Amino acid sequence: MKKALTLLAVCAVVCVLTSIASAQRPGGNRRPGNMPQGPVKTDATIDLLASKNLGDWDFFLLDGVKKEDVFSFTEEGILKCTGKPFGYLCTKEKYRDFKLSVQWRWPDGVEPTNSGVFLRMNGDSKGFLPRGFEAQLAHGSAGDLWAFYGMGLEGFDKARFTHNPNAGEPTGEIRGIKKLVDAERPAGSWNTYEILCQGGTIVISVNGTIVNWTQDAEDIAGAVGLQSEGGPIEFRLMSLTPLPRAND
Task: Look up the CATH number of the domain holding residue 116.
Answer: 2.60.120.560
Q: Is residue 27 part of a domain?
A: yes
Strand arrangement, sheet containing 145-148: 57-61, 87-91, 223-228, 116-121, 132-136, 145-148, 174-177, 161-164
Neighbours of 239 (CB within 10 A): 15
Mean pLDDT computed over 204-221: 98
Q: Is residue 248 part of a domain?
A: no
Q: Is residue 147 part of a domain?
A: yes
So what's the pLDDT on residue 69? Answer: 97
pTM across the whole model: 0.84
**pLDDT value at 21 more than 80:** no
Find out whether 180 and 211 touch, Cβ atoms under 8 Å.
yes
Structural domain including 145 reads: 2-242
- Of 153, 173, 166, the C-alpha closest to 216 is 153
Neighbours of 220 (CB within 10 A): 16
Q: Is residue 100 part of a domain?
A: yes
**pLDDT value at 22 more than 80:** no
So what's the pLDDT on residue 247? Answer: 63
Q: What is the pLDDT of residues 92-139, one digit of tens each?
A: 999 999 999 999 999 999 999 999 999 999 987 778 999 999 999 999
Q: What is the pLDDT of residues 62-73, one digit of tens each?
A: 999 999 999 999
* 144 — pLDDT class (breaks 50, 70, 90): very high
Q: Is residue 60 part of a domain?
A: yes
**Alpha carbon distance, N-terminus to C-terminus of the chain:** 35
Q: Is residue 80 part of a domain?
A: yes
CA distance 246 to 248: 6
3-state secondary structure of 235: strand
Q: Is residue 163 part of a domain?
A: yes
Q: Is residue 104 part of a domain?
A: yes
CA angle 118, 121, 124 (to 5 degrees): 130
**DSSP structural state of residue 153:** B
Q: Report the domain count for the chain.
A: 1
Query: What element of type H or E holds 5?
Result: helix 2-23
